[in-house]
Each structure stands twice: as C-alpha cells, then as structure tokens.
Amino acid sequence: MHHTSEPPILYFGTPVVLISTSNEDGSPNLAPMSSAFWIGWRCVLGLGARGKTAANLLRTGECVLNLPSEKQVAAVNRLTLTTGSTPVPDYKQKRGYRYVRDKFGISGLTPVDSETVRPPRVLECPVQLEASLAAVHELAEDDEAQRGGVLVLEGRVRRVHLDDEILMSDQPNRIDPDRWRPLIMSFQQFYGLTPNQLQPSGLATIPESEYRGPDIERGRGEAKRVAR
C-alpha cells in the first residue's frame, strides 16, 4: 500500500563527496556534500549558491572531488556543521553551523598536492577526482521563492587517482565494486553498503523540516488542477 506523503527532503541515498577548493588567500577549503552524480568523466554538483564552496568554485573554476569510504565516516562527521564563510550566514547560524578556517585540521585528514588543479586532494580518500568547472546553471529558476538559491554545476574531470586497494587486480583502469565501499548519505544519516547505520550524523541535528521548500506546496496546487 502507498500513501501520499510530503517528506521535507528527498535524499534517497547518494555517495558523500568532500570538495576541496581554494580560498581567496590560497588556503584550502574542504566541505562535505552528496548532491552529485557522474556521467562519463563529467559530474553534476548541486550546491547552495551562498556557500563558500560554490563561491570558490565560481571564482577559480577548479576543485577536487574526494570520495570517502566507510572508513572515513568519523572524519567526514567532524566537518558537518562547519563553514568556511565568515561571518557565518544567519540561516547557517540557526542550523548550528560554526566558522572553521582549517578544515583539514579539524577533520584529521591530510592534504596532498594535486597534479592539474590548485586545491589539494585528500590523502585518505580512496577516490580523488581533479576537476574544472565546465558550466553553471540555476536550479528552480521557475520559482521566485527559490530562484538563485541553488546552483547546478557541471564539472569536467581532469585527473583520476584511485587507491590500489579498490582496483581490480588484473585491470588497473577498473574499480572492483566488491572492494569499493563508498560512504552514503541517506536522509541525513551515514550508511555504507550494509544494512546498518555506521554512526549518528552531526548533520541530523538539523530537523528535516528546515529543508522544506515551496515545491511541496506548489505540487499540491498542481495535483488539484489535475483532479479538476
């Protein structure tokens, strides 16, 4: 049986990505996100337009997409509710965010030089994708209340670094899915490719209702029009 429902977020489970970018003074910023997918060597990222990561990407046109495994869940969790923006925007303050300049330091992760872009890679992440910004689109341009709030950024992957432990033994250009265990974000909680939650997520301290957007009400009106 199915029921009509209105969940505030539709986060059905996607891999966590740690995006490293360069600040104005050249120092690195590191931020977790999971609104991402790949087609070939292109990626699509959904980012808040007012965030530090988006600002850095738009200014420099480059980043590194570091994909953590289940083993890095604690390090990723230490980055939740932190921001590289100062002062902290009001909407983030209300959700419990605080300013942290040294993201690598607070997470306990190790920066290593990239080969084609300025932002560093994350040594501990089994997958590291150096990328440049190829295109920028606005999400929800059809809705005045949401217009300009979220950006859809297309990235072109320039260099791929993979841990030997996740590669097929006889094919160095193929990842073995039996060895690759990505960290998954599902409805604000951390999971792996196992049925059990890995550990409580700091992000889950934000009520899902905080993410409720106008598209829910808009959908109600559309349903009524169809019923007529």
Are 21 and 36 in contact, with CB atoms under 8 Å apart?
no
Residue 209 pLDDT level (bands cut at 50, 70, 90): confident
Residue 226 pLDDT level (bands cut at 50, 70, 90): low
Tell me, what's the pLDDT at 194?
79
Tell me, what's the pLDDT at 35?
94
Tell me, what's the pLDDT at 21?
98
pLDDT more than 70, % of the chain: 97
Residue 227 pLDDT level (bands cut at 50, 70, 90): low
* Mean pLDDT, the chain, whole residue set: 92
For the domain with range 14-227, which CATH number is right: 1.20.1420.20, 3.30.1490.100, 3.40.50.970, 2.30.110.10? 2.30.110.10
Q: Say which residues have a Cβ less than 8 Å from residue 25's Cβ, sequence separation at least 6.
A: none
Sign of CA dihedral 74, 189, 14, 170: positive
Residue 212 or residue 44, greater confidence: 44
Q: Where are the domains of the chain?
A: 14-227
pLDDT of residue 54 exceeding 80: yes
pLDDT of residue 221 exceeding 80: no
